[in-house]
Copies of this chain bind each other. A is one copy, B any other.
Amino acid sequence: MNESPGRPVPPLPPGVDPAWLPAFALRPVGSRRVRVVGTGPLVDTVRGEVVAAVREHGGHLVDDGPVDLDLVCAPETGGGPEAFTAARAAATTTVRAAEGAGLLYGFHHVVRLGEAAFTGTWSTTAAPRQAIRMLDHWDNVDVHPVMGQVERGYAGGSLFYADGGVRADLGRVAAYARLLGSIGINRVCLNNVNVHRTEARLLTDLLPDVARLADVFRPYGVRAHLSVSFAAPITVGGLATADPLDPEVREWWARTTAAVHAAIPDFGGYVVKADSEGQPGPFAYGRDHADGANLLARALKPFGGTVFWRAFVYNHRQDWRDRSTDRARAAHDHFSPLDRRFDDNVVLQVKHGPLDFQTREPLSPVIAAMPSTRLAVEVQVTQEYTGQQKHVCHLVPHWREVLSFRPWGEEGGTVADTAAGVVAVANVGDSPVWTGHPLAQANLFGFGRLAWDDRLSAEDVLDEWIGLTFEDRTVRDALHQVMGDSWRTYERYTAPLGVGFMVRPGDHYGPDVDGYEYSPWGTYHFADRDGVGVDRTRATGTGFTGQFPRPWSDVYESPDTCPDELLLFFHHVPYGHVLRSGSTVVQHVYDTHFAGRDEVHRMALIWATLRGRIPADTFERVTELLREQLRCATEWRDQVNTYFWRKSGVPDARGRTLY
């Protein structure tokens, strides 16, 4: 038979971490006799993985059979384009899939199983729960004077851009694409949703370089997208207007999009942040967001492209004195009336909560309000508000809660059942460990795994990551203790009871309880000497609770039924209010802040026991970061506790130090 030699596995530049695909993770496959059947770019990718693995570990890629084969990856007819069947019988493990993508995912399923893939008899049929599994990169081509190269990036510069353009050497991007393919990510957006001058040119004269990037992602099943500015017809096209109903504008987008597809045949589509935080949008022309989104959708339609239109639209020039305006209401107010108005290749991209990726928010009610619109749920893998990759904050349990939330109560479906896809803001950069904090790799890995199947347990996903990443099998329990509950730990030492936004303005790192209290951003807690929290009830507040379907509209409406962790999101209560937990609000603040900080101390002690069982550079780096996390958690504890002590005058029931 005449089979291709396979696509070479992209080599890692010196010093770059292999993340969850280190050599040892490929040993179970690489030490065996493997056959890869089929043709096509993704099959070639699988074949290349096998070639590299057997070369490293002494196995064999064979092109005949059927006897003496440990693993066969081969096409089958039927099944979805990304689905696969994996099974073991008669001492042979098989992966079968209708298309190359499914084969690649099945292959990595076997890699994750490790030796277990070659033991016993078993069978799995798998298909992704979400067809759209996307990462948005907030990368700028030019280094932004305030935001840096990667907006809200905590892992160094951009993987894609350097020196004012797309990198000449995309070797590292290929290694990144391989990592994404291995966890089932199938779309990336290559540039920041805030589109600046140079980035606007990705659509035009920089397009050949975007095509080079798309070429690198394609063999791993990942389609490229671009963020575009709604004003591009003016700023790039030289037209006098960007009005979505203007024929010239429509023609410009059609022409421009055709050129993009000519360069990138499988171009995924556009991501658009419009009429938000200063970005241009259809409001300037008296049009609505359906007009805006459909304009781009129709340009993309002939080529199979999709518009990802962000629902993150709110008034960021609010007056803090005006308690009737509620930023949490904004997305629902803007978008729910537009259900049925969007074309079928529009995906409305909705942040999971109504504000902005806080550690704890209720679900965005938009997600339950637009049955006729394709919705993607957006989460934030980059830790903007969750410790900025200086803190261990394993977010998979958070996303697991979001995706399994049932907006219509126990009888209804979950968010994941409802969604047309999931999108995450990426957390990678040119850091040698990809994510700045070595343990933040688990968030990227876990996002991919949950996007594929939200029913996986967060615990299992974490253990899967640990097992793939660290060769020493004895580290699992300790690492699990350090990471497993770290999101809730972070929640404990930061803003309490769902109130959010007690962060330092601008950089969003570290505490500043009143930092946003008098700002135009709509991010208030209204703490006074008597109580704290935002009244978002229908009865006496902003009415935000009414944006939810039952039962949540009722559950959230009453402080007696509202979950403790969201109490201050929905209610303004006295400091002496007794929580469902039995504690008062102010004592809860003290207790959780002391506990959260002490948990970080405990995490550091457990981590210290791993010396010698973790690669030394990783060990030292995380040790140093835990020191910063402890310092910062102490600062959070003392500032938040002191703030509420000075305001409430209520001493700590346990007599601990307040300042």
Roughly how many angstroms separate A504 CA and B645 CA in the complex, as a whole number?
Answer: 23
A residues 633-659 touching B (CB-CB < 8 Å)? 635, 638-639, 642-643, 645-649, 659
CB-CB under 8 A from A646, the residues of chain B are 527-529, 647
Check A659–B528 contact: CB distance below 8 A.
Answer: no
CB-CB under 8 A from A659, the residues of chain B are 320-321
CB-CB under 8 A from A295, the residues of chain B are none
Known A511-B518, A514-B513, A639-B518; judge A529-B647 contact (CB<8 A). yes
Check A529–B320 contact: CB distance below 8 A.
Answer: no
Task: With both chains docked as a complex, state the minimum distance between the C-beta of A612 and any C-beta of chain B, in angstroms.
Answer: 35
CB-CB under 8 A from A320, the residues of chain B are 659
Roughly how many angstroms separate A649 CA and B642 CA in the complex, as a whole number?
Answer: 18
Tell me if A530 is interfacial: C-beta within 8 Å of chain B. Answer: yes
Tell me if A145 is interfacial: C-beta within 8 Å of chain B. Answer: yes
Residue of B nearest to A635 (CB): B518
Task: With both chains docked as a complex, state the minimum distance between the C-beta of A542 and any C-beta of chain B, in angstroms.
Answer: 16
Check B647–A647 contact: CB distance below 8 A.
Answer: yes
How many interface residues does A have (CB within 8 Å)? 23
A residues 496-512 touching B (CB-CB < 8 Å)? 511-512
Check B321–A529 contact: CB distance below 8 A.
Answer: no
Roughly how many angstroms separate A513 CA and B519 CA in the complex, as a whole number?
Answer: 12
A residues 510-537 touching B (CB-CB < 8 Å)? 511-514, 518, 527-530
CB-CB under 8 A from A645, the residues of chain B are 528
Roughly how many angstroms separate A245 CA and B107 CA in the complex, as a whole number?
Answer: 70
CB-CB under 8 A from A529, the residues of chain B are 529, 646-649
CB-CB under 8 A from A145, the residues of chain B are 145
Roughly how many angstroms separate A647 CA and B529 CA in the complex, as a whole number?
Answer: 5
Roughly how many angstroms separate A529 CA and B529 CA in the complex, as a whole number?
Answer: 6
Roughly how many angstroms separate A648 CA and B527 CA in the complex, as a whole number?
Answer: 12
Chain A at the B interface: mostly helix, strand, loop or mixed? loop
CB-CB under 8 A from A527, the residues of chain B are 646
Residue in B321, B514, B638, B642 whose beta carbon sits within 8 Å of that of A638 in the complex:
B321
Check A530–B321 contact: CB distance below 8 A.
Answer: no
A residues 312-367 touching B (CB-CB < 8 Å)? 320-321
Task: With both chains docked as a complex, state the minimum distance between the C-beta of A122 and any C-beta of chain B, in angstroms.
Answer: 56
Residue of B nearest to A514 (CB): B514
CB-CB under 8 A from A639, the residues of chain B are 518
CB-CB under 8 A from A513, the residues of chain B are 514
0 or 1 for each of A294-325: is its CB under 8 Å from B? (1 = yes): 00000000000000000000000000110000
> Which of the listed residues A512, A638, A645 has the most CB atoms from chain B within 10 Å of its own CB?
A512
Residue in B512, B638, B642, B649 whose beta carbon sits within 8 Å of that of A530 in the complex:
B649
Residue of B nearest to A506 (CB): B506
CB-CB under 8 A from A649, the residues of chain B are 528-530
CB-CB under 8 A from A643, the residues of chain B are 514
Task: With both chains docked as a complex, state the minimum distance between the C-beta of A60 and any C-beta of chain B, in angstroms.
Answer: 57
Task: With both chains docked as a complex, state the minimum distance between the C-beta of A528 and any C-beta of chain B, in angstroms.
Answer: 4
A residues 603-659 touching B (CB-CB < 8 Å)? 635, 638-639, 642-643, 645-649, 659
Task: With both chains docked as a complex, state the minimum distance between the C-beta of A527 and any C-beta of chain B, in angstroms.
Answer: 7
Roughly how many angstroms separate A529 CA and B649 CA in the complex, as a whole number?
Answer: 7
CB-CB under 8 A from A530, the residues of chain B are 649
Roughly how many angstroms separate A512 CA and B514 CA in the complex, as a whole number?
Answer: 8
Roughly how many angstroms separate A646 CA and B529 CA in the complex, as a whole number?
Answer: 6
Roughly how many angstroms separate A267 CA and B426 CA in the complex, as a whole number?
Answer: 56
CB-CB under 8 A from A648, the residues of chain B are 529
Roughly how many angstroms separate A527 CA and B529 CA in the complex, as a whole number?
Answer: 12
0 or 1 for each of A119-147: is its CB under 8 Å from B? (1 = yes): 00000000000000000000000000100
Check A528–B638 contact: CB distance below 8 A.
Answer: no
Roughly how many angstroms separate A528 CA and B645 CA in the complex, as a whole number?
Answer: 8
Residue of B nearest to A323 (CB): B659
CB-CB under 8 A from A635, the residues of chain B are 518
> Which of the listed residues A145, A528, A642, A645 has the most CB atoms from chain B within 10 Å of its own CB?
A528
Residue of B nearest to A642 (CB): B518
Roughly how many angstroms separate A528 CA and B650 CA in the complex, as a whole number?
Answer: 12
Roughly how many angstroms separate A318 CA and B326 CA in the complex, as a whole number?
Answer: 38
Residue of B nearest to A530 (CB): B649
Task: With both chains docked as a complex, state the minimum distance between the C-beta of A148 and any C-beta of chain B, in angstroms.
Answer: 11
Residue of B nearest to A659 (CB): B321
CB-CB under 8 A from A528, the residues of chain B are 645-647, 649
Roughly how many angstroms separate A659 CA and B639 CA in the complex, as a whole number?
Answer: 24
0 or 1 for each of A172-198: is its CB under 8 Å from B? (1 = yes): 000000000000000000000000000
CB-CB under 8 A from A321, the residues of chain B are 638, 659
Roughly how many angstroms separate A514 CA and B515 CA in the complex, as a whole number?
Answer: 8
Roughly how many angstroms separate A596 CA and B320 CA in the complex, as a whole number?
Answer: 21
Roughly how many angstroms separate A529 CA and B635 CA in the complex, as a whole number?
Answer: 21
Roughly how many angstroms separate A25 CA and B448 CA in the complex, as a whole number?
Answer: 75
Roughly how many angstroms separate A646 CA and B513 CA in the complex, as a whole number?
Answer: 14
Roughly how many angstroms separate A96 CA and B635 CA in the complex, as a whole number?
Answer: 66
CB-CB under 8 A from A638, the residues of chain B are 321, 518
Roughly how many angstroms separate A646 CA and B528 CA in the complex, as a whole number?
Answer: 4
Roughly how many angstroms separate A659 CA and B323 CA in the complex, as a whole number?
Answer: 9
CB-CB under 8 A from A647, the residues of chain B are 528-529, 646-647
Residue of B nearest to A513 (CB): B514
Roughly how many angstroms separate A472 CA and B575 CA in the complex, as a whole number?
Answer: 62
CB-CB under 8 A from A514, the residues of chain B are 512-514, 643
Task: With both chains docked as a complex, state the minimum distance between the C-beta of A659 and any C-beta of chain B, in angstroms.
Answer: 5
Task: With both chains docked as a complex, state the minimum distance between the C-beta of A536 and any C-beta of chain B, in angstroms.
Answer: 18
Task: With both chains docked as a complex, state the minimum distance between the C-beta of A651 and any C-beta of chain B, in angstroms.
Answer: 12
Q: Can you show 6 pairs from A to B with CB atoms below 8 A apart?
A: A321-B659, A512-B514, A527-B646, A528-B645, A529-B649, A646-B647
List 10 additional A-B contacts (Cβ < 8 Å) besides A511-B518, A518-B638, A518-B639. A512-B514, A512-B518, A514-B643, A518-B635, A518-B642, A528-B645, A528-B647, A529-B647, A529-B648, A647-B647
Instruction: Report, nearest first, the 7 A-B pairs whose CB atoms are least far apart.
Output: A528-B646, A514-B514, A529-B529, A518-B639, A321-B659, A529-B649, A529-B647
